[in-house]
């Protein structure tokens, strides 16, 4: 610095010096203090947990407690020479070893030689090995015997972030303490204390952003706080913190989610634009969006969300207000869309487009009717049906032995209004030019050869005289091409001779479709009959009281009518 003074970073300046100062690790502090008070101090401890949660600090506090000049007590005095030396790291009886750089068997052998000697001016020689999982296999083997039967004046304290990498033989010789991630409220509370001590003006919103940056690590949070103070000075603005830490403003996430629930597609896309303008990573934004909607889901699903979520009181109140009229199912459906989008972004060339598509889908989702509400409506409909006449085609009771004809709502004997199109009615002489029934001829051919019959069904009987049948097919159609085939004509001619009992010549002609004077083909007749039949069904259904009541109760409309076939 310009004035030559030494600046100490916050993480070191405010490092815990007593058990009572350990934030979020009360379960460890209480156990160690009880062990000290009762004289049940083990010879080896293993501290495990995420980075920056107080493992090494606890090891130093433990060392001071055991070697304090005022006696073995559950809190060090921090004023005697022994406590001060350990705090500064200059004690000759407390060895702090980095397992990453002193991981060889020779290092462990040197350590074994040193601990044979009594402490110079303390009660115990204390060996603190940080990142102990980095020791080699041979180093662990060299440590085993000493760890199992150490001298009475020696205590081992190991710290690691990856306990699963330690041999079982080492784990079984240590008392293990698992350090938890520090909760968001505890980090914010600690940052608030430090801000007051350092005379820093900062809002709870900014402190929450800094605490989230630490992700459960007190040291990382203090490092981020240091960075913010270096940028902003003693007056910190929320916008500067969000920009510096590269974090999405929680208010923007709230605006986007509100737009999603309101179906405001314009607001949703404008929110994504704001995120993109500050250069924020779209995949990280999607992950924060997932976390935000997860918070909303928890708030709407449990009675005490504050016990589960790491949110400030103000944030909980705001999210609760936003979801007051939203069902958990609606939130869950949207959350599923965002999770799918995030998984697709790993290999996508247009991450912003994927986020926008997911948000638009979420905005346009139709609300889901709760199943209980549907059940109530069905009960109401059933109650109405008791007093409603049965449908015209319904029978009072269907016997299990009834024939198929009696068990279907519409039978083949349903009368057809245009009787001239029925298969069993002879076609007029104007259409046939003779007395032979064209429909019966096609039926006969169908029975003998289904492929030939299916083509004839699309043909119009233009002319039929003794020995001659002329059939027309629409110009350019597949059926005309098939009928003009020599083998087709030959096969049909043989069947026609068999049907009429005499020589019959088959002629195929091309006709223009849609002409009024052209006789209808059997396929056209069937189509008209079907359309008329469905129209009659629609009129009957539309006038049925039960159907009318169902449309009223469910607020629905008839989309399609299908005739049941047995």
Q: Per-residue pLDDT tens for 273-309? A: 988 887 788 888 899 899 999 999 999 888 888 888 8
Answer yes or no: do 288 and 234 share one domain.
Answer: yes
What is the model's pLDDT at position 403? 39
The CATH number assigned to the domain holding 36 equals 3.40.50.300
Where is the domain boundary, 178, 209, 225? 178
Check: CB of residue 515 under 8 Å from CB of residue 541.
Answer: no
Residue 44 host element (H or E): strand 44-48
Residue 429 host element (H or E): helix 429-432
Q: Is residue 310 part of a domain?
A: yes
The CATH number assigned to the domain holding 290 equals 1.20.272.10
Q: Is the pLDDT of residue 427 over 90?
A: no
Q: Is the pTM of this model over 0.75?
A: no
Q: Is the pLDDT of residue 3 over 60?
A: no
Look at 433 and 262; give whichever has higher pLDDT.
Answer: 262
Where is the domain boundary, 128, 147, 178? 178
Q: Is residue 145 part of a domain?
A: yes
Q: How far apart are CA 87 and CA 549, in angstroms?
A: 82
Range 443-461 average pLDDT:
86
Where is the domain boundary, 331, 346, 364? 364
The CATH number assigned to the domain holding 492 equals 3.30.300.180
Q: Is residue 401 part of a domain?
A: no
Question: Which two three-digit tokens encode residue 49?
Answer: 């947990």
Check: CB of residue 184 under 8 Å from CB of residue 154.
Answer: no
How many CA atoms are closer than 13 Å to the CA of 97, on its beta-carbon side? Answer: 21
Q: How far apart are CA 146 and CA 170, in angstroms?
A: 11
pLDDT in tens, 244-267: 887 777 788 888 999 999 899 999
Q: State how many domains the chain has.
A: 3
Largest CA-CA distance found in the chain, in angstroms, rounded: 134
Answer yes or no: do 267 and 164 share one domain.
Answer: no
What is the model's pLDDT at position 316? 84
Q: Is residue 390 part of a domain?
A: no
Answer yes or no: do 305 and 452 share one domain.
Answer: no
Q: How far apart are CA 311 and CA 288, in angstroms?
A: 14
Answer yes or no: do 213 and 355 share one domain.
Answer: yes
Answer yes or no: do 231 and 91 share one domain.
Answer: no
Q: Is the pLDDT of residue 38 over 60?
A: yes
Residue among 92, 105, 26, 85 nearest 58 (CA): 26
Domain range for 341:
187-364
Question: What phi and psi values does residue 527 have, to the nearest 5 degrees?
Answer: -65, -45
What is the model's pLDDT at position 433? 38
Residue-wise DSSP of 503-541: --EEEEEEE-TT-TTSPPPHHHHHHHHHHHHHHHHHHHH
Determine how many CB atoms are found less than 10 A away from the CB of residue 210.
28
Q: Is residue 402 part of a domain?
A: no
pLDDT in tens, 343-384: 988 787 888 999 999 999 999 987 766 677 767 777 776 676
What is the model's pLDDT at position 386? 56
How many CA atoms are closer than 13 Å to the CA of 247, on its beta-carbon side? Answer: 23
Q: Is residue 457 part of a domain?
A: yes
Q: Is residue 380 part of a domain?
A: no
Answer yes or no: do 53 and 151 share one domain.
Answer: yes
Residue among 130, 134, 131 nearest 103 (CA): 134
Sign of CA dihedral 240, 246, 247, 252: positive
What is the model's pLDDT at position 384? 63
Burial group, residue 212, by CB count within 10 angstroms (0-12, 13-18, 19+): buried
Answer yes or no: do 358 and 215 share one domain.
Answer: yes
Answer yes or no: do 173 and 284 share one domain.
Answer: no
Place of tokens 């005490």: 304
Check: CB of residue 103 under 8 Å from CB of residue 137.
Answer: no
Answer yes or no: do 345 and 258 share one domain.
Answer: yes
Question: Which two three-digit tokens encode residue 537?
Answer: 């069904």
Rg value, the chain, Cα: 43
Answer yes or no: do 268 and 351 share one domain.
Answer: yes
How many CA atoms are closer than 13 Å to the CA of 482, on its beta-carbon side? Answer: 16
Q: Is residue 21 part of a domain?
A: yes
Answer yes or no: do 121 and 199 share one domain.
Answer: no
Answer yes or no: do 209 and 117 share one domain.
Answer: no
């Amino acid at each position: 610095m310009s004035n030559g003074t030494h600046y100490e970073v916050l993480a070191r300046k405010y490092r815990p010096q007593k058990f009572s100062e350990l934030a979020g690790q009360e379960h460890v502090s209480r156990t160690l203090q009880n062990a000290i008070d009762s004289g049940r101090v083990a010879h080896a401890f293993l501290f495990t947990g995420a980075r920056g949660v107080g493992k090494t600090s606890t090891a130093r506090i433990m060392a001071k407690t055991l070697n304090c000049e005022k006696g073995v007590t559950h809190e060090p005095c921090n004023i005697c020479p022994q406590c001060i030396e350990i705090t500064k790291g200059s004690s000759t009886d407390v060895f702090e070893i980095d397992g990453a750089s002193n991981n060889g068997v020779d290092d462990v052998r040197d350590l074994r030689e040193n601990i044979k000697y009594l402490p110079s001016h303390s009660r115990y020689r204390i060996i603190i090995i940080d990142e102990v999982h980095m020791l080699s296999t041979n180093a662990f083997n060299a440590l085993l015997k000493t760890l199992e039967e150490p001298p009475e004046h020696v205590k081992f304290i190991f710290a690691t972030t990856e306990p699963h990498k330690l041999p079982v033989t080492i784990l079984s010789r240590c008392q293990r303490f698992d350090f938890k991630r520090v909760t968001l409220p505890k980090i914010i509370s600690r940052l608030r204390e430090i801000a007051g001590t350092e005379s820093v003006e900062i809002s709870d919103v900014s402190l929450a952003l800094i605490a989230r940056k630490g992700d459960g690590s007190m040291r990382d949070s203090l490092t981020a706080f240091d960075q913010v103070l270096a940028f902003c000075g003693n007056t910190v603005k929320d916008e500067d913190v969000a920009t510096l830490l590269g974090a999405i403003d929680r208010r923007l996430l709230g605006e986007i989610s509100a737009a999603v629930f309101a179906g405001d597609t314009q607001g949703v896309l404008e929110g994504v634009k704001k995120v993109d303008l500050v250069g924020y990573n779209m995949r990280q934004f999607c992950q924060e969006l997932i976390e935000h909607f997860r918070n909303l889901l928890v708030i709407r699903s449990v009675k005490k969300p504050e016990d589960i979520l790491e949110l400030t009181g103000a944030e909980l109140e705001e999210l609760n207000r936003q979801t007051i009229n939203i069902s958990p199912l609606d939130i869950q459906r949207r959350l599923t869309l965002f999770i799918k989008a995030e998984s697709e972004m790993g290999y996508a060339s247009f991450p912003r487009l994927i986020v926008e598509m997911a948000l638009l889908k979420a905005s346009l989702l139709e609300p889901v009717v709760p199943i209980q509400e549907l059940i109530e409506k069905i009960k109401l409909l059933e109650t109405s049906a008791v007093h409603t006449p049965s449908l015209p085609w319904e029978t009072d009771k269907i016997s299990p032995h009834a024939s198929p004809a009696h068990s279907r709502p519409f039978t083949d004997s349903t009368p057809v209004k245009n009787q001239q199109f029925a298969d069993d009615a002879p076609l007029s002489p104007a259409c046939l030019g003779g007395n032979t029934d064209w429909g019966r001829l096609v039926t006969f051919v169908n029975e003998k050869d289904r492929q030939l019959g299916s083509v004839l069904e699309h043909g119009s009987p233009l002319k039929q005289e003794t020995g001659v049948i002329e059939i027309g097919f629409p110009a350019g159609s597949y059926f005309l091409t098939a009928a003009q085939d020599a083998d087709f004509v030959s096969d049909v001619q043989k069947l026609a001779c068999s049907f009429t009992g005499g020589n019959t010549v088959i002629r195929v002609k091309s006709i223009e479709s849609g002409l009024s004077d052209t006789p209808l083909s059997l396929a056209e007749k069937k189509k008209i009959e079907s359309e008329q039949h469905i129209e009659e069904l629609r009129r009957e259904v539309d006038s049925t009281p039960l159907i009318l009541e169902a449309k009223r109760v469910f607020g629905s409309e008839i989309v399609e009518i299908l005739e049941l076939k047995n």
